[in-house]
């Protein structure tokens, strides 16, 4: 799909991958609806012509108003980019249930609600793209990020089920699984503080701009899945080829994190 002329709703547009997607898609000629909780940070990302609608995506009435106002302003939504999300750094036995529920509300139920509000309209027009930002953690359960992984596995399942439900309608669904991307994400995780070995993996990390450009290429090619960078593709391949070794490695990693906690 050509990005030029498309109306794109980006959640979590106030920082990191969402903000970089806003720049990349605008540069490619899209019109943007930007949302996030922080009006100040959204104002820094927005340019004239963008529609900025600040609010909390965990609030169902806000989600309804968001879609209504976007459609009132632009007449339609061509691309829904479900990007907003946060992580929870704690082992499953010590993950506070209220925090797990809040994370699932943002990482899974908010995207599902926005999909239910936009997909029927896309289907009626016979075109549209839904992009769900999952994670490598949505394909491989990471130690101390197991509940975050669970939310991202669920988002992958939602994406894949939705793609088959919508096949033949002209509406396409893309699952994005980034590896490490240098953003404010580690500082925003709840539960505990991620150690430097997890939060600052300089060798394998990419920038939010590199991630956004891979996402834009995925949209243009109507890819089913975007896994970026290449090291993340290799990690997933190794995990598939060597499941026992991977599990032993992750268990060792878990014990190291336990000692550091």
CB of 166 to ligand NAP, least distance (A): 22
Write the DSSP symbol of residue 217. H
CB of 106 to ligand NAP, least distance (A): 5
Which residues make up the interface to ligand NAP (CB under 6 A)? Answer: 12, 14-18, 36-38, 41, 56-58, 83-86, 106, 133, 135, 178, 180-181, 183-185, 188
Closest by CA to 82, choosing from 105, 50, 115, is: 115
Residue 141: asked if its preceding bond is cis (omega within 30°), the reply is no
Where do runs of H (alpha helix) occur along the chain? 16-27, 39-45, 60-74, 97-104, 110-125, 146-166, 185-188, 196-199, 208-221, 230-241, 243-260
Q: Which is nearer to ligand NAP, 12 or 143 (CB)?
A: 12
Q: Which is nearer to ligand NAP, 17 or 46 (CB)?
A: 17
From residue 153, alpha-carbon distances to 95, 145, 176, 177, 202 in Å are: 17, 12, 12, 10, 25
CB of 1 to ligand NAP, least distance (A): 21
CB of 170 to ligand NAP, least distance (A): 26
Tell me the backbone φ, ψ of residue 181, rounded to 5 degrees.
-125, 130
Q: Which is nearer to ligand NAP, 119 or 155 (CB)?
A: 155
Q: Which is nearer to ligand NAP, 104 or 180 (CB)?
A: 180
The catalytic position among 148, 153, 180, 185 is 148
Neighbour tally for 165: CB within 10 Å: 13
Neighbour tally for 160: CB within 10 Å: 15
Closest by CA to 83, choosing from 21, 162, 141, is: 21
CB of 131 to ligand NAP, least distance (A): 11
Is 148 part of the annotated catalytic residue set?
yes
Report d(CA 95, CA 8) in Å as an integer: 35
Q: Which is nearer to ligand NAP, 128 or 186 (CB)?
A: 186
- The catalytic site residues sit at 148
């Amino acid at each position: 799909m050509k990005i030029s002329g498309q109306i794109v709703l980006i959640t979590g547009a106030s920082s990191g991958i969402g903000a970089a997607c806003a720049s990349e898609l605008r540069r490619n000629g899209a019109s943007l609806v930007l949302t996030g909780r922080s009006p100040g940070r959204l104002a820094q990302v927005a340019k004239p012509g963008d529609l900025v609608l600040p609010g909390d995506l965990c609030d169902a009435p806000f989600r309804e108003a968001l879609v209504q106002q976007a459609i009132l302003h632009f007449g339609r939504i061509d691309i829904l980019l479900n990007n907003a999300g946060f992580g929870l750094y704690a082992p499953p036995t010590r993950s506070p249930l209220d925090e797990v529920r809040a994370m699932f509300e943002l990482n899974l139920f908010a995207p599902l609600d926005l999909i239910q509000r936009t997909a029927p309209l896309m289907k009626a027009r016979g075109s549209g793209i839904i992009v769900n930002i999952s994670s490598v953690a949505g394909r491989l359960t990471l130690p101390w990020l197991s509940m975050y992984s669970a939310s991202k596995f669920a988002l992958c399942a939602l994406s894949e089920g939705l793609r088959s439900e919508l096949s033949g309608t002209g509406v396409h669904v893309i699952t994005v699984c980034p590896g490490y991307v240098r953003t404010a994400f580690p500082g925003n995780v709840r539960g505990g503080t991620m150690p430097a070995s997890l939060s600052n993996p300089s060798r394998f990390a990419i920038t939010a701009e590199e991630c956004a450009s891979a996402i834009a290429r995925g949209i243009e090619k109507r890819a089913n899945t975007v896994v970026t960078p290449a090291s993340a593709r290799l990690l997933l391949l190794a995990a598939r080829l060597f499941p026992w070794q991977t599990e032993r490695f992750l268990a060792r990693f878990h014990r190291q994190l336990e000692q550091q906690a």
